[in-house]
Structure 1
Amino acid sequence: MLSVHTSPLDQPGTGDAGGMNVYVVELSRQLAALGTEVEIFTRATAGHLAPAVELAPGVLVRHVDAGPYQGLSKEELPAQLCAFTHGVMQIWAGEHPGYFDLVHSHYWLSGQVAWLAAQRWGVPLVHQMHTMAKVKNASLATGDTPEPAARIIGETQVVRAADRLIANTAEEADELVRHYAADPGRTAVVHPGVNLATFRPAGDRAAARARLGLPRDALVPLFVGRIQPLKAPDILLHAVRELLDAEPSLRGRLVVPVVGGPSGSGLARPERMQRLAARLGIADLVEFRPPVSQPELADWYRAATVLVMPSYSESFGLAAAEAQACGTPVIAAAVGGLPVVVRDRETGYLVRGHDPADYARVLRRFADDPGLCDRLGAAAARHARRFGWKATAGGTLAVYADAIAERRFRRPHLAGA
């Protein structure tokens, strides 16, 4: 596996680390548990890192030196792809012929390296976009920075080179065909998973709130994710202001945790959300918390009344699946994969558009009906069980098998020609 721009060892919610990190870690662990050894190549971001680290039995993370350890933004990484590729090839040269059966790349930067590696090693390339420039640019948040043309070109090249593409949802598969002329016959849909051992209902909401120091009877709309315009935490803050304008008596009941760190274009103004909360007059209600480990994150989900995901674009929406697995309903934008993860009016609510007033009206339902959280949460926990990582790994292995079988079929055919 190739994950150039963000390490699977990084804490999700910091810098560029997010759902893709969780995806690579959990998928690799499950593949290894099913008998497929995995080596993950990622860029070294500190001098003290060991060249190879065992992430789990059968899963090895290899750190490749490419550019300075610190201070490189994601936008500067294309200039280091040659150095990264050289490092990958050096490691490969030390192994026996046929060491790798297949290359699986994540995000377009990794795809550029994987394209060359797969050709050099004579193995299939399976690629996963996770996000797409053309899709993001079509639904930019106000003031956000468009993805550059170089990324669009790079994504188009990788789509053409890949033996197989994995999409998180049927909608993402359609977007690959529509925006990048992907071959539908080589595009497979495999839903991401949830660690159901960690993210599960455990005890009652009051116990989770006690552990986190939250009031027992509070209305707690939770935001989890990287703090950047794409994820739209500002929509939640504006919605809270709208809710208070409509029902001032709720002020004594509201606590609004925002769990995550600045990322992407949000790094330019890391204090933006704090200033917005102050300007809206709700700074006393909003608690900004740094990214946390998965066990603690599960407690935040359990403690919340509802998770709010007003994102402008989501290829899947892993946080929504995690929250539901913990028995917490979700209010989400009806974009990308979120309509697959959230069943409207059954496990949460889908909101068309990004008008804070619409989110405020849904939040008001939870304020007016204390039993709504538990009713939707029970259905959410049942729904989330279909998203286990074992199923994801099984679907991914089927894609691998198809790609390998097709490559083997082509070789004798070409030799005979």
Structure 2
Amino acid sequence: MSQYVSRLGRRSPAAPSRLRLHRRPRRVAMLSVHTSPLHQPGTGDAGGMNVYIVELAQRLAAINIEVEIFTRATAGGLPPTVELSPGVLVRHVDAGPYEGLAKEELPAQLCAFTHGVMQAWAGHRPGYYDLVHSHYWLSGHVGWLAAERWGVPLVHAMHTMAKVKNARLADGDTPEPAARVIGETQIVAAADRLIANTAEEADELVRHYTADRAKVAVVHPGVNLERFCPLPQGTGNPADISVGTSVGTSADVSAGRAAARARLGLPRDALIPLFAGRIQPLKAPDVLLRAVAALLDERPELRSRIVVPIVGGPSGSGLSKPEGLQKLAARLGIADVVRFRPPVGQEQLADWFRAASVLVMPSYSESFGLVAIEAQAAGTPVLAAAVGGLPVAVRDGETGFLVHGHDPADYARVLRRFADDPALPDRMGEAAARHARCFGWDTAAAATAEVYLAATQSHRRRVRSHHG
């Protein structure tokens, strides 16, 4: 476990396991103010965090930690509660207008959201929730108040940090406001434990927000290895899929890619660099388009065998120019090879990953980059910017390529390698699928449960010392 959870105060080895298990939280209030776990990732504000919360909650429930997820209601007539799966309940909280509320306007609704959370709590016996786990800074403020009111520990996951984003802004992107920086600083000080996706993120918490290093735990996010695999279930040996023995060979990767291309109506032998995610300057899909234009300027003969799918919807500052990427493709003279597709469900997303020659992630900032692990689990290498958690998610030169900076010419050079070596996606895809198997959600959930335990113990010590 120590390779997934670090910087935690260690328990005495003499402590009986029965006592340790007894002290582990039984019911967690999980907060996700600005994006619902029921929303489609890849559009609006829904993305990797949605996937993270759903998968983590379900795996925690599987190890007997019930999870109730509080999220803002974004439509009228939603049921107050929805059972996502056994042991996981989603609670819709009325806070502000249902539609048309930008993320930047949400701080004004935190009072109303907190009231809704407290109303739900008031209907239960004392001690109903054992711990609060908040996601993103907006939730952190509600979590801080709830944890104080309930007398329980607060565990917080930043997901992204304002100071880090502002240091790496894309051209024309909007800086995060000072209010967010102040809010994040307060949450870091208040939390009993902070969960970071990578060691680099842990260092950033300490460096930018003066976090107490002893409170920071590194837990890598996971990937649904049953959904994201080179061969969908039913096309390979199920035993192989479960243990990862033979599914994931270059032959499996090649077969999975050919089948996925047939299902999606893509040419079997095309070079297919894929972008999948929210369309906004932060994710830099324009860098991929400019790289493709540079490649075709140099190698016009590739035009007949290249297809560039852009799968996702406008988000964040990208909402101000929803057609901006289509117009850029036209200006660059590559509209004929680019295919824009709306966000898709997880099953079809896995097929897009399988079909691609390479997933391209030129992001300016990524706390981890969940889609990089999902694509690799599906047997597809990744071409990514060397930012945030992507150097952890991608093994440079083995499961993909990392580029320093955002110069389209650098991305074009790597795409040329895929064009010149048609077997490269299969070779790297085999290594990528093997690498991704280290990132199962079961491992992430077990590590998170350890963080909960450590938070509970330190919270008890703090309360005892306060009353002592």
Question: Do they fold alike, i.e. is TM over 0.5?
Answer: yes
> For 1:220, which of 261, 264, 272 is the aligned residue?
272
Q: Aligned equivalents of 2:69 and 2:256: distance in 1?
A: 38
Residue 349 of structure 1: SS of its match in structure 2?
A: strand
Match in the other structure for 1:54: 83
Match in the other structure for 1:392: 444
1:172 maps to 2:201: yes
Match in the other structure for 1:5: 34
Q: Aligned equivalents of 2:445 and 2:126: distance in 1?
A: 26
Amino acid at match of 1:4: V
> For 2:337, which of 273, 282, 285 is the aligned residue?
285
Give the deviation of 1:412 after TM superposition.
3.2
- What is the correspondence of 1:138-149 to structure 2 with a 5 Å cutoff? 138-149=167-178
Match in the other structure for 1:86: 115
Any stretches of 5+ residues in structure 2 without a counterpart?
1-29, 232-254
Q: Aligned equivalents of 1:409 and 1:171: distance in 2?
A: 29
Give the deviation of 1:204 after TM superposition.
2.5
CA shift digits 1:200-229 (9 cap, x unpaired): 011421111000000011000000000000
Match in the other structure for 1:366: 418
Match in the other structure for 2:213: 184
CA shift digits 1:270-312 (9 cap, x unpaired): 0000000000000010000001011100000000000000000
Q: Aligned equivalents of 1:376 and 1:15: distance in 2?
A: 32
Match in the other structure for 2:229: 200
- What is the correspondence of 1:78-157 to structure 2 with a 5 Å cutoff? 78-157=107-186
1:14 maps to 2:43: yes
Q: Aligned equivalents of 2:428 and 2:273: distance in 1?
A: 15
Q: Aligned equivalents of 2:282 and 2:465: distance in 1?
A: 47
Residue 222 of structure 1: SS of its match in structure 2?
A: strand
CA shift digits 1:133-179 (9 cap, x unpaired): 00000000001010011111111111111010000000000000000
Q: Aligned equivalents of 1:367 and 1:115: distance in 2?
A: 51
**Percent identity, aligned pairs only?**
77
Q: Aligned equivalents of 1:204 and 1:9: distance in 2?
A: 29
Match in the other structure for 2:74: 45
Q: Aligned equivalents of 2:439 and 2:69: distance in 1?
A: 23
Any stretches of 5+ residues in structure 1 without a counterpart?
none
Q: Aligned equivalents of 2:256 and 2:114: distance in 1?
A: 50
Normalised to the residue count of structure 1, the TM-score between the two structures is: 0.99
Normalised to the residue count of structure 2, the TM-score between the two structures is: 0.88
Amino acid at match of 1:109: L
Cα RMSD over matched residues?
Answer: 0.6
- What is the correspondence of 1:375-414 to structure 2 with a 5 Å cutoff? 375-414=427-466
1:248 maps to 2:300: yes
Q: Aligned equivalents of 1:20 and 1:205: distance in 2?
A: 27
Match in the other structure for 2:282: 230
1:353 maps to 2:382: no
Amino acid at match of 2:358: V
Match in the other structure for 2:365: 313
Match in the other structure for 2:390: 338
CA shift digits 1:317-374 (9 cap, x unpaired): 1010000000000000000000000000000000010000000000000000111111
CA shift digits 1:71-117 (9 cap, x unpaired): 10000000000000011101100000000000000000000000000
Q: Which has the higher contact order (CA 8 A, sep 6+)?
A: 2
Residue 31 of structure 2: SS of its match in structure 1?
A: coil
Q: Aligned equivalents of 1:251 and 1:214: distance in 2?
A: 15
Q: Aligned equivalents of 2:301 and 2:195: distance in 1?
A: 48
Give the deviation of 1:409 after TM superposition.
2.5
**Range that drifts further, 318-327 or 195-204:** 195-204
Residue 70 of structure 2: SS of its match in structure 1?
A: strand
Amino acid at match of 1:130: H
Amino acid at match of 2:203: D
Give the deviation of 1:408 after TM superposition.
1.9
Q: Aligned equivalents of 1:409 and 1:85: distance in 2?
A: 27
Residue 2 of structure 1: SS of its match in structure 2?
A: strand
Q: Aligned equivalents of 1:333 and 1:408: distance in 2?
A: 42
